[in-house]
A and B are shown apart, each in its own frame.
Chain A
Amino acid sequence: MPLTTATVDALAAIVGPERLLTQAEDLIPYSFDGTAALKQRPDAVVFPRRTAEVAECVRLAGTAGVPIVTRGSGTGLSGGSVPTAGSMVLCLVQMNAILDLDPRNLTLRAQPGAVTQRIDEAAARHGLFYPPDPGSMRISTIGGNVAENSGGLRGLKYGVTRDYVMGLEVVLPGGEIARFGNQCVKDVAGYSLKDLFVGSEGTLGIITEVLLKLVPRPAARRTMLALYDRIEDAAATVSAIVAAHIIPCTLEFLDRVTAICVEDYAHVGLPTDCEAVLLMETDGHPAVVADEAAQMEALARQHGARDVRSARDEAEALQLAAARRNAFSALARKRPTTILEDVTVPRSELATMVRFIADTAVSFNLQIGTFGHMGDGNLHPTFLADERDAGEMHRVHDALEAIVTRTLELGGTITGEHGVGLAKKPWLRQQMGDASLELMRQIKRTLDPRGLLNPGKIFD
């Protein structure tokens, strides 16, 4: 059912007509996020500026029975912010203020539309650090990061977004404004409800403010590239580093296809003639960094690295990491449709999984570029295909089934950092089992009995 004129007028009264979009040319660009091949035009887009406006929009949607899809910059990779039919998009990019940075408590308070990189830049001005660095950090919003529990290149040592969320302000499906958490390092009062909303993908409430933990900025950093002729050797190096009780900040893996595409885009001197590249980074106290870098280099060489190179300076290190963050999009150079997966396995199973993906590509006659966060077991096999070729898309689907099944057999998860959204929904039951899935449904029904918040995401 399309939005009625009365509802549109009421929305305009809440946010002002200049913050409401209803024209086709304005809505089409809000039909998608960063996920391939998913598209649905919403009926309206609103840009609230305050929590109170969000709450009013939610109440109005409740009265009118209109589904709400919350959105930031629309860079999600599982279709979490792709609109549903007849929905209104609540776009929070105008609520983008960094409200407060408390250097005594090492916390930062921000509105949900604040861009991730701005948050780290604000922290850096105080010698502090906000580590989670999803690939899209230059434009992704913190609200979206929290809602999807985004990861990034530094997950291995620093964890993911959840590990930095100390508190949240959330507009609940009934329009109530609730606050969870505080600046206390320890807090065991009641259920940890903030954790319910981290990674809830906009299905339980709308995050309108976040309180984040910051850590001291590391004093030193070393970035290295190890080059391999065999993928398994790269995986073995990662296992050896972890077994040597070194937790580097980053251990990123790129296969040959990915390295070629990234180099084609970024021109940062990535080798394109080897089967695997490991981007290794250690940070912290200068003495520790020097020691760990030497050990990592030695381990890489012992495990078959053809060459190990160090970044000349900070600028080159930053360039390499930035180039790696664009790996997914750079793969789109090869074929028209890029389907990105996010399977994650226990680190001990990495070599098995990487080999399985390579074999799958061969047996299904598909092109797959694989990259990922090898240090934390999070891989991104990316299918390079063309959505206009039905036969190929069918093979992609079958190959995906095979990869997911193998991932779960190895004790892994269907999504390490992108969320379930629409893209991973078909496999959630397979991973979670009936009881867990039913419990999630009960929670959803309890909080949002009418199912108006981001309906059809995570599960039906």
Chain B
Amino acid sequence: MRTTLKTIDYAVLQQCMHCGMCLPTCPTYDATGRERNSPRGRISLMRAIADGDLEVTTTFADEMSYCLGCLACQTACPAGVNYAVLFETARSDIQAANVDTSAKRRFWRALTLRFLFMRPSALHAAGRLLRLYQATGLEALARRTGLTRLLPPDLRRLEPQAPAVAARFSAALVAAHERPAGPVRARVALLTGCIQDLVFPDINRDTADVLLANGCEVDTPRDQPCCGSLHAHNGEIDMARTLARRLIDLIPPESYDAIVSNAGGCGSHLRHYGSLLADDPAYAVRARLWDQKLRDIQEWLVDLGCRQPAAAPFDAPTSVTYHESCHLVHGQKISRQPRTLLRLLPGVTLSELPESSWCCGSAGIYTLTQPDQAEKLLKRKVGHIATTGAEIVATANPGCHLQIARGLNDAAAGVRVMHPVSLLAAAYRRETTTCAAASRPGSSSSPPP
């Protein structure tokens, strides 16, 4: 049974006592100063729908599309409103009511949610195709000859934004089963993600290396399905449930001490399989166990007592700043741990980023569905990064990673984006000049530019 705004426990809606404490933390309210674009405004519309005072209208669909789902309001809310649940229920109602008339949004939803992110093979095939286009010089040729001008305006704008797909995906870089050199402290499963797998497989290799360096035995099952985060976020709850079941089948939670995710957006969704599958008698119990085992890599390392690297990640002293992925800080309340890890690094100084927990505009497929607002947020973020003087922006979510890297590239800022775990991995690899880790397939220690 699909939960709707009309059937949801009314107490969830009532929890909002419209005090307004969320307003200063909401990027869209900040942009417009209009209550409709604020968390409490959106909740008031949801409550009106629940009360029968308002239909699920196209305007409501527009509003819920404008919401980033960054969950900054949830951190700010003293009353403890579960906005994530309200947000997903509202988007699910919008899907069911079929009122989202934006052809653009429909196209991107169908392509991404229904096709690519339901099938690992389709996603990999698409990734290889894109890689072919980018690596063979076809891309350069198309741009030089002006062929890209033939694309529809949306695609034309996005074409240069398409992420550079890696030559080899995670399965080629990380073995299905890897054991640490020393005694085994814990047994973990590594989730490789979708975007992470296609675009940043090195981060998955780095994650495995850091886990091994901390005594974890690492299983990385092949052909992992998407976790369903994008689907739940965009109102496709049934698809999200299907994907959750597949993932639980592939990675039995009872077999591991921890199931580790290195992508903030995925992790935030992955920890809520319990409520997603609560009504499924075959999966409810294991889904709750899954939630208990699910850890963000940084949280897991700090809990485990991460070993301080004996070497610096780079030759020269390096200044790093940290951007908080919304779904890591607001969705998972993980804010201290990445900083703890970065402070462990010899030769690295951490300088705080102003508004570090303000959304960068990536927000799932927001750059596709709300390009203007996404661009404004990116500019704001890049401006703050520039004030820190940092050479590296550490961030732990592929969406943020791509978005900020693009923003920095456009600003010609000469600043690089890295996952905190990649910095740790680089440091461990440099501990001995003839380090075993360095001979592992695909691993590399890239110095700063």
Contact = CB atoms under 8 A, between A and B. Distances in A.
Contacts of A388: 10
Interface stretch (B74-82, B198-206, B402-410): B74-82
Given A333-B80, A337-B14, A25 B63 contact: yes
A372 interface: no
In this complex, which of B10, B15, B20, B80 has the most chain A Cβ atoms within 10 angstroms of its Cβ? Answer: B20
Contacts of B54: 24-25, 28
A25 B78 contact: no
Q: Which interface class (under 10, 10 to 19, 20 to 34, 35 or more) fits A?
A: 35 or more
B57 interface: yes
Contacts of A136: 19-21
Contacts of A264: 80
Contact of A329 (B11, B17, B35, B59): B17
B40 A29 contact: yes
B44 A32 contact: yes
Interface string A12-29: 000000000101111011
A73 B35 CA distance: 9
Interface in B52-92: 53-54, 57, 59-60, 63, 77-80
A265 B20 contact: no
Contacts of A26: 34, 36
Interface in B73-113: 77-80
B192 to A, nearest CB: 33
Interface string B396-416: 000000000000000000000
A29 B19 contact: no
Interface in B360-385: none
A29 B24 contact: no
A34 B16 CA distance: 10
B20 A333 contact: no
B33 A330 contact: no
B83 to A, nearest CB: 14
A93 interface: yes
Contacts of A32: 18, 44
Contact of B19 (A23, A34, A93, A386): A34
A33 to B, nearest CB: 7
Interface in A367-409: 386-388
Interface in B29-48: 33-36, 38, 40-42, 44-45, 48
B78 A34 contact: no
B21 A139 contact: yes
B342 interface: no
A25 B60 CA distance: 7
Contacts of A387: 14
A47 B38 CA distance: 16
A73 B59 contact: no
Interface string B1-33: 000000000110011011111011000000001
Given A25-B60, A29-B40, A29-B41, A333 B19 contact: no
A28 B21 contact: no
Nearest to A267: B333
In this complex, which of A30, A34, A139, A386 has the most chain B Cβ atoms within 10 angstroms of its Cβ? Answer: A139
B33 A326 contact: no
A22 B241 CA distance: 40
Nearest to A261: B78
Contacts of A441: none
Given A139-B21, A336-B15, A338-B17, A29 B80 contact: no
Contact of B53 (A28, A266, A326): A28
17 contacts: A25-B54, A25-B57, A28-B45, A28-B48, A31-B44, A74-B18, A74-B20, A138-B21, A138-B24, A140-B20, A265-B78, A329-B77, A333-B79, A333-B80, A336-B11, A336-B14, A338-B17
Given A25-B60, A34-B19, 11 more contacts: A25-B36, A28-B41, A29-B34, A29-B38, A29-B44, A36-B17, A47-B33, A262-B78, A264-B80, A329-B79, A338-B79
Interface of A: 21, 23-26, 28-34, 36, 47, 73-75, 93-94, 115, 136, 138-140, 262, 264-266, 326-330, 332-333, 336-338, 386-388
